[in-house]
Amino acid sequence: MNTAVTDTQSLIETSTFLRACRREPVDHTPIWLMRQAGRYMPEYRAIRAKHSMLEVIRTPELAAEITLQPINAFGMDAAIIFSDILPPLVGMGLNLEFVKGEGPVIYNPIRTVADIEALQTPPAEENMGFTLEAIRLVAAELTPRGVPLIGFAGAPFTLASYAIEGGGSKNYEKTKALMYQYPDAWDMLMRKLATVQADYLLNQAKAGASALQLFDSWAGLALGMQDYVRYIQPYNTLLFAELEKAKVPTINFSTGTALYLDEVAACGGSVIGVDWRIPLDLAWEKVGFNQAVQGNLDPTVLLTDWETVKTKVDDVLRRVNGRSGHIFNLGHGIFPNVPTDTVKRLVAYVQEQTSR
Ligand code: CP3
């Protein structure tokens, strides 16, 4: 057996994060934060001052460097590859830009059945080769250090909402109009997106990602339970079934889905992401104890004083009640105005407080 293989095997067996994904006992509760590499870090802002968002994503050395920044500064139990959920849409035919102060914009949004028919489904190696290369670089650095790397992709619905609206959205009007009025076109769009994302995620695992997270960030903000079951569940289920080929833990993340977390969990995922809109014990009960959970501190709490943060963290941990299979995280991404000192204390506190 060569050294690399031995290292990977030992990472899989000993990483607290990967053990928690499999609901195995751990020596402390693993913690990482969604958007942990980002604007709240001065090291990140220094790189972004010189390069655009897409430039950084398309330069494997820069993406790798940013991925490592929070690990080196705060010692999280897992890294997440630096990229975004939207770049895979570019190779499908969409013209994406990250506009300063505005967020992502798609200049040629999908509006007709013909637009959906015209969407390409390029293989990941061709479409997202730069991120796969960044994963290889980071895995080579982190595997010997015993830190796992999470790969990720956007879920079909959340990506469809950007592709159709042309950017962020409040009411998802165009997306839902297309979904309700043209169910066959919706089916074609969701299948194309699921195909591209499944191939992308499987290739991330091949490149060295030891877990895969699917971000369906807007599912529950847009759709009620009956629509989730009808318009999202079949495609996320297809995707998670496909991901079983990767033989790595998978994380099924969404927000606003507290009311129907059981339906979310039914799509698949070794771990179910839980936002802050439901207490973790109640969420886990809805999910069922044969899946792990990740979350669920309100991201806003990190803007308060340390005593308040501690009280809220203690409440999350109390609701876990020592059960195996909890990964500490925020309920959604960290805000850019969180003090780095709070992040440092949070990571250390969770790791020390749960140490056994
Ligand atoms: O978690 C991580 O650290 C990995 C990197 C990551 C980013 N985006 C970096 C990013 C991940 C996993 C994402 C996912 C993502 N991107 C989602 C799903 C997760 C979520 O937060 O709901 C969504 C909906 C997007 C789309 C997106 N990208 C938006 C709406 C924006 C603009 C809003 C904002 O926060 O500025 C982005 C830009 C983006 N993606 C930034 C980062 C660090 C900010 C870019 C910058 O200005 O430097």
Give the pLDDT score at 92.
98
Q: Ligand 1 centroid vs 53 CA: distance in angstroms?
A: 10
Could you give the C-alpha distances from 134 to 80, 121, 124, 160, 209, in angstroms and in order? 11, 22, 13, 26, 10
CB 324 within 8 A of CB 24: yes
CA-derived radius of gyration, the chain: 19
* Residue nearest atom 33 in ligand 1 by C-alpha distance: 103
Q: Ligand 1 centroid vs 171 CA: distance in angstroms?
A: 20
Q: Which atom of ligand 1 is nearest to the CA of 253?
A: 19
Residue with tokens 């895995």: 139
**Active centre residues (catalytic):** 35, 39, 48, 84, 162
Give the pLDDT score at 1.
46
CB 273 within 8 A of CB 252: yes
Where does ligand 1 bind, in terms of residues with CB under 6 Å?
A: 34-39, 48, 53, 80, 82, 84-86, 98, 103-104, 152, 168, 215, 217, 332-333
Peptide bond just before 321 cis, omega within 30 deg: no
Q: Ligand 1 centroid vs 88 CA: distance in angstroms?
A: 14
- Which residue ranges form the domains of the chain, and what is each CATH number? 3-352 (3.20.20.210)
* Residue nearest atom 23 in ligand 1 by C-alpha distance: 85
356 residues of the chain, pLDDT tens digit each: 455 666 999 999 999 999 999 999 999 999 999 999 999 999 999 999 999 999 999 999 999 999 999 999 999 999 999 999 999 999 999 999 999 989 999 999 999 999 999 999 999 999 999 999 999 999 999 999 999 999 999 999 999 999 999 999 999 999 999 999 999 999 999 999 999 999 999 999 999 999 999 999 999 999 999 999 999 999 999 999 999 999 999 999 999 999 999 999 999 999 999 999 999 999 999 999 999 999 999 999 999 999 999 999 999 999 999 999 999 999 999 999 999 999 999 999 999 999 98
